[in-house]
Amino acid sequence: TMARLSFTKMHGAGNDFVVFHDFPQTSSFSGVPDTSPGTMPLSSLQKYSKFVADRKMGVGCDQVIIVRPSPVPDLDYEMLIFNNDGSQAAMCGNGVRCFSKYILDHGLSCFARSPSSDFPHHGVHTLAGPVHCYPALKHARNSVTNMMVTVNMGPPYVMDLKDEEVVVKELAMTSPREMWSREVQLPGSSVSFKVVCVSMGNPHAVIFLPQGTKVSEYPVEEYGPLLERHEKFPRRANIEFVEVLSLSDVRVRVWERGAGETLACGTGACGVAVACILTDNAGVIDSTTQDRRVNVHMPGGILEIDWKHKENRIYKSGPATEVFRGEMLLPDLKSIQL
C-alpha cells in the first residue's frame, strides 16, 4: 500500500519548504548511528525529496524539511533538510524558522523551554550543530499565517581567504579594518570593489554601493558571478550588494554561491549587518546594552539582525509563514521518473 503523508507548505521570506513530521522509517543521517530495523536509506530519502520538491511533478519547493526526534538528549528535535536536487543541506536559516513555527503550531512537545512559559525556546539538532530558536509570540509583524522567529546565529568570524584550514578568528564590533577589509579587482578590468569579508560559517563578501546608487538597478547578475569565483575567494563566496537607506535600514541583493541571485539569504543578512556595523555605515545602538540592530530589506522580506555586544552573538529575526496543509501519496521509488 502507498504511504499517505501529511505535509505543510511554508516559506521564510520567499524561501519555500515542504515540511513533513517524521517521514516513514527515516533514519537520523546526522552522524548518530540508527540501528532500528527497516530504516530508509539516505539515497531513497534524497530521491523522494527531489520528487516532492519538483514544481511540476511534485508539490514544489526549494527544500524539503523533515522533523525528527533529536538524536541527542539536550535538544528538542532534529531538522533534516534536502535541497531540490536531492542533496542534503546542513542548515538553512529561513528553514529553521519555519521548523520552529511548525513545532509550535502542531503542539509538538518541547522541554527546552526558558523559565517564562510565554517565551518558548526550541533547541534544534542540525548537521551544522545545535541551533536555538525563539518564536517571538508578541511581535507586531505576527498575523494568522505569519510568525516572527528569532534565531541565535552564533558569533561572526573573519572570512578565511586562504585555501588551507586556518584558525578562524571571531570578529568583535571593535575589530580593526585590516582584519576584514579587502580590495578586490575584477580580472582584466579596471573595476575594483572594497569588500568586507565576513563568515557566518559560510563566506560573505559585502559591498556597499556608492551613495545615490539604487541596488534595484545595479548589475548584480554581471558582477555577482565574477566576484563569487574571484581568485581572492578560494572556496567561492556569497556576494552581497548593499544600498544604505538610513542608520537603521539597508536594502540588499544577494548573489548566492552556487545558486545565483535569491529572494533572501539569512546568513547573508547577518553578514551584511556585521559589515554595516564594522564600517559604521548603519546600525542603531541600544544605549544601555551597546547592542546594535540593522533591518535588512531583501526582495523576499525584511530580516531584523541584532549584534549582541556582551555575548558577541548575532540574532536574526524573520518571518515564518504557513501557506497550506495537504496530503500526498508517496509513490513507489521505482516509479519516480526524475
**What are the b/e assignments for 235-245, b being 16+ CB within 10 Å?**
eebbbbbbbbe
Q: Does an H or E element contain 220, and which?
A: helix 220-228
How many Å apart are CA 136 and CA 120, to the nearest integer? 9
Q: 149, 134 in Cβ contact below 8 A?
A: yes
Instruction: Give which of 62, 64, 69 is closest to 45, Cα–Cα.
Output: 64
Which amino acid, one-letter code, is at 211?
Q
Q: 122, 76 in Cβ contact below 8 A?
A: yes
The residues assigned a catalytic role are: 92, 265
The set of long-range contacts for 333-336, using a CB threshold of 8 Å and a minimum separation of 24, is 333/44, 333/47, 333/48, 336/47, 336/48, 336/51
The residues that bridge with 157 in the sheet, in sequence order, are 170, 199
Spell out the alpha helix ranges (H) of 57-212: 93-105, 177-180
Percent helix, percent strand, percent coil in the chain, to nearest 5: 15, 40, 45
Q: 163, 117 in Cβ contact below 8 A?
A: no
Spell out the alpha helix ranges (H) of 233-293: 266-279
